[in-house]
Amino acid sequence: MDRLGNVSHFPVGITPVHINYRLYGSIPQAELKRIQLLRRSATADMKRQFGKLSDQHFAEASKQEMARIDRMVEAKMEHTLHQSGSGPMYLRQPELRDTVLASWQFLHQRKELVLYAACLMSNHVHAIVSNINRQESLAIGQLMSRHKTFTAGQANKLLQRSGQPFWERQYFDRTVRDGKFLTAMWYVLNNPVKAHLVERWQDWPGTFVNPLYLSHFTE
């Protein structure tokens, strides 16, 4: 049996988590297959390197390497999304963009989570969140399912269609390491700048910053 599966997801605790997800069909199939092949190749190399270890030691040794591989995969997908001239760009539409952002803000206002920042690009979304409840963990799978189901339904109504996928099932999430919070926030906010869409992150209409942290990112 394969001792490694798909991208791992972990419950959201009080430490902030960076989430990255995209529209259905936003990466061409040929490019997606190339990236998937790259991940399988890197995973196979790692298995050969650690293959003689016991299951317990394999799990420990492979965790960090798989995190590195998944960061590499995410970076390649991110690059493709920024460069893509094809595929859906629904989040350019103000109503759709506002619907998705409002969903995150609603969860924040209801104190189901803390929303630190969000950036909605034309075909993908970045968000940094944490769990507001120190006593319990927040199941990220349930969180993403609720968010995607609601926003997909609203988006399909606005697009005057029904029963069609809006989001890709896959998403990436990673814990923001100690001392890297402001770096992660800058990364999210600067996405439109990096894509040469605006000169200042403040000029991008699909951006949210928690007011408590706004002073860190204003001139």
Query: How do residues 102-140 score in pLDDT, each as one tens digit?
Result: 999 999 999 999 999 999 999 999 999 999 876 677 889
What lies within 8 Å, CB to CB, of 134 at 6+ separation is 14
Cα–Cα distance measured from residue 113 to residue 215, given in angstroms and rounded to the nearest whole number: 21
Q: Please give the model's pTM, rounded to 2 decimal places.
A: 0.83
Both tokens assigned to 121: 């690009």
Q: Quick one: pLDDT at residue 46?
A: 80
pLDDT > 90? residue 149: yes
Task: Render pLDDT for 36-92 as a digit per residue (tens, 0 to 9).
Answer: 888 888 888 887 877 777 766 766 767 777 778 878 888 888 888 877 667 899 999
Q: Quick one: pLDDT at residue 56?
A: 67
Mean pLDDT of 195-201: 92
Q: Count CB neighbours of 91 within 10 A.
A: 23
Q: Quick one: pLDDT at residue 1?
A: 28
Q: Quick one: pLDDT at residue 209?
A: 96
